[in-house]
Amino acid sequence: MTRFVLKRTGGALLVLLALSVVIYALFYLVPGDPARLACGERCNPAQIAQVREQLGLNESVVAQYLHFLQGLLVGRDSSGGAGLVLHCDAPCLGFSYQNDQQVTALLLERLPATLSLALGALVIWLVIGVGTGLLSALRRGGLTERALTVLTLAATGTPVFILGLLLLMAVCAYLQWLPFPTYVPLGDDPEQWAWNMLLPWVTLGFFESAKYARLSRSSTLETLAEDHIRTFRAYGVGERAIVTRHAVRGAVAPVIALSAVDFGTMIGGAVLTESLFGIPGLGKTLIDGVRVVDLPVVVGVVLAIGAAVVLAGVVADVLYAVADRRVVLA
């Protein structure tokens, strides 16, 4: 297992290095003036020249990337104008020229809101998706399976922003069970945090639960059709014991792996949900950065999202190996 984890970790580091090259080239080496894009249209020539110096755009392409990589690994110093030297600790993603703040600090400030959304949605899509899939597999051919299939198709075909708007109109406007959500940090008021995050959790969790229902259903049916399950039945082992001890265990492994990957993707992929409910997370930060052309913020968020997806892939591989030891030997 140790060798397996080290191998996956080494591969992830290589992917992250390649990812940093692609993202840097995509945003800083495209035609145009990155300094003007980063500074904004209202900057004068002196400010643009200062930004160009901070970004290292006066150096060669290789030196520019190495300067960028140095900031990620050990931090870097850059000129702030008038002889002022700005230090940025690792992982340094530069400075936002719209609010004069380090991008890393900005992302760390917005990360708790995104994690709150992703964790709550994870619980909901696992409970609804896996529960629906298992029940559908165990009631195969009956009315229950047909009803759950219709529910799954409805979740698959409903865009997340449509579902969110319907919930806002039904729960907040028509029924008035909840006030319109306003994000409250967990540390300020845990109860209000939970109530205001409930609709975003349900919106995102219900949308994601459809594929988990299909995956857990197919995995359960596949496991129940294996030879050792038929052998257990032939020896008179009870159906409940077969399902709980063997069928569920076989169906859980792919769900665990997919959950880790989806959670990593959700770190930056819940843009619509965050924008709809006004959650100040990474997705909304990305949209705001694109709108005002804050290039360091856009690069930082994209790189953070990519790193989260790569890390989630490693965690998924490890969890799958724990659930099924045959993966380690492959």
Average pLDDT of the residues in 115-138: 87
Range of weakest confidence among 47-61, 216-230, 277-291, 304-318: 47-61
- What integer pLDDT is reported at residue 327 of this predicted model? 58
Handedness of CA 203, 206, 207, 208 (dihedral sign): positive
Q: Has residue 21 got a pLDDT over 60?
A: yes
Q: Residue 255 forms beta bridges with which residues? A: none
**Range from 81-85, 100-104, 119-123, 169-173 carrying the lowest mean pLDDT:** 81-85
User: Could you tell me what percent of the chain has a pLDDT over 70?
Assistant: 90
Burial of 111 (0-12, 13-18, 19+ CB in 10 A): middle
Residue 298 pLDDT exceeds 70: yes
Residue 145 has pLDDT above 80, yes or no: no
Beta bridge partners of 96: 101
pLDDT at 199: 92
Distance CA 181, CA 198 (A): 9
Span 300-318, average pLDDT: 85
Model pTM? 0.81
**Worst-scoring range by mean pLDDT, 159-163, 211-215, 241-245, 287-291?**
241-245
pLDDT above 80 for 126: yes
* Entry field: residues in the chain: 330
**Confidence label for 218 from pLDDT (cuts 50, 70 and 90):** confident
- Quick: pLDDT tens for 74-116: 888 766 555 566 777 888 888 887 777 888 899 999 889 998 9
Calpha distance 41→36 (Å, rounded): 7
Q: Averaged over 116-143, what is the pLDDT?
A: 85
Q: What is the DSSP code (8-state) at residue 181? A: P
Quote the CA–CA distance of 114 and 217 in Å, as a whole number: 29
- Please state, for a pLDDT cut of 90, what percent of the chain lies above it: 5
Name residue, tokens 């020229």.
Answer: 97
**pLDDT tens figures, 30-63:** 666 777 766 666 677 777 777 777 767 777 778 8
Q: What per-residue confidence (pLDDT) applies to 214? A: 84
Residue 197: the pLDDT is 92
Q: Which residues contact 13 (CB under 8 A, 6 or more apart)?
A: none
Q: What is the mean pLDDT of residues 8-13?
A: 87
Mean pLDDT of 213-240: 81
| Dist. CA 134–CA 168, nearest whole Å | 30
- Across 44-53, 170-179, 285-294, the highest mean pLDDT is recorded for 170-179
Q: What is the tens place of the pLDDT at every residue in 248-272? A: 776 777 787 788 888 887 876 678 8
Asked if the model's pLDDT at residue 165 lies above 80, the reply is yes
Mean predicted lDDT score pLDDT of the chain:
81
For residue 198, name the pLDDT band (cuts at 50, 70, 90): very high
As a whole number, mean pLDDT of residues 181-203 equals: 90
